[in-house]
Amino acid sequence: MSQEHAMPTPRLDLKLRLALRVAAMAALCFTAAAAYVVFETSRSARARADWMADLAARDLSLQTGQNSWIKSGLVSFPDLQPIAAVVMAPGLCIAYRDRGGDLRQRLCSGADPADTAAPWLFAALYRRLLDADVQAVRPVPLRGEAKGEVVVSTDPQSLIGQSWRETSRLVAVMAGTLLGLCVLVYAALASALRPTRTIRAGLERLAAGDLSARLPPLDLAELSAVGDVFNHLAGSLETTLAERNALTRRLIEVQDEERRHLARELHDEFGQCLAAIGAVAASAAQTAHDSCPALVPECRSIARTAAHMMEVLRGALLRLRPPDVEELGLAASLEGLVAGWNSRAGGRTRFSIELEGRFDRLPGEFAASLYRIAQEAITNAAKHAQASNVVVRLRMQEPPPPDRPHCIELAVADDGKADGDLSMKAGLGLLGMRERIGALGGRLDFEVLHPGGLVLRAQIPVPPAAVDPDLAMAAA
Mean pLDDT (the chain, rounded): 79
Instruction: Tell me the pLDDT band of 130, cut-offs 50, 70 and 90.
Output: confident
Burial pattern 209-241, b for ≥16 Cβ within 10 A else e, equals eebebebeebeeeebeebbeebbeebeeebeee
Instruction: Tell me the pLDDT band of 240, cut-offs 50, 70 and 90.
Output: confident
Which pLDDT value is given to residue 133? 82
- The answer for residues whose C-beta is within 8 angstroms of residue 161's C-beta and 6 or more apart is 91, 111, 112, 115, 116, 117, 118
pLDDT tens string 332-387: 888 888 888 888 777 788 899 998 888 888 887 888 888 888 888 888 888 777 78
Pairing of strands 350-356, 389-396: parallel
User: Cα-atom radius of gyration of the chain, to the nearest Å?
Assistant: 50
To the nearest whole percent, how much of the chain has pLDDT over 70?
Answer: 85
> Helices 364-380 and 428-439 sit at what angle, rounded to 10 degrees?
160
The DSSP secondary structure of 14-67, one letter per residue, reads HHHHHHHHHHHHHHHHHHHHHHHHHHHHHHHHHHHHHHHHHHHHHHHHHHHHHH
To the nearest whole percent, how much of the chain has pLDDT over 90?
Answer: 1
- The answer for residues whose C-beta is within 8 angstroms of residue 266's C-beta and 6 or more apart is 313, 316, 317, 320
Tell me, what amino acid is at 454?
A: L
Q: Could you say which DSSP state residue 98 is in? A: E
Cβ(281)–Cβ(306) below 8 Å: yes
pLDDT tens string 256-299: 778 778 877 777 777 788 788 888 888 888 887 777 777 778 88
Which pLDDT value is given to residue 460? 87
pLDDT tens string 190-233: 888 888 888 888 888 888 777 788 888 888 788 888 888 989 98
Which pLDDT value is given to residue 476? 47
Sheet with strand 389-396: strands edge to edge: 350-356, 389-396, 407-414, 454-461, 443-448
Which pLDDT value is given to residue 429? 67
Q: How many Å apart are CA 261 and CA 131, to the nearest integer?
A: 105
| pLDDT of 39 strictly over 50 | yes
| pLDDT of 101 strictly over 70 | yes
Q: How many Å apart are CA 374 and CA 393, to the nearest integer?
A: 9
Which pLDDT value is given to residue 475? 46
CA angle 91/127/24 to nearest 5° reads: 110
Sheet with strand 145-154: strands edge to edge: 103-108, 92-98, 145-154, 135-142
- The CATH homologous superfamily for domain 324-476 is Histidine kinase-like ATPase, C-terminal domain (3.30.565.10)
Q: Where are the domains of the chain?
A: 14-191, 324-476
| pLDDT of 238 strictly over 80 | yes
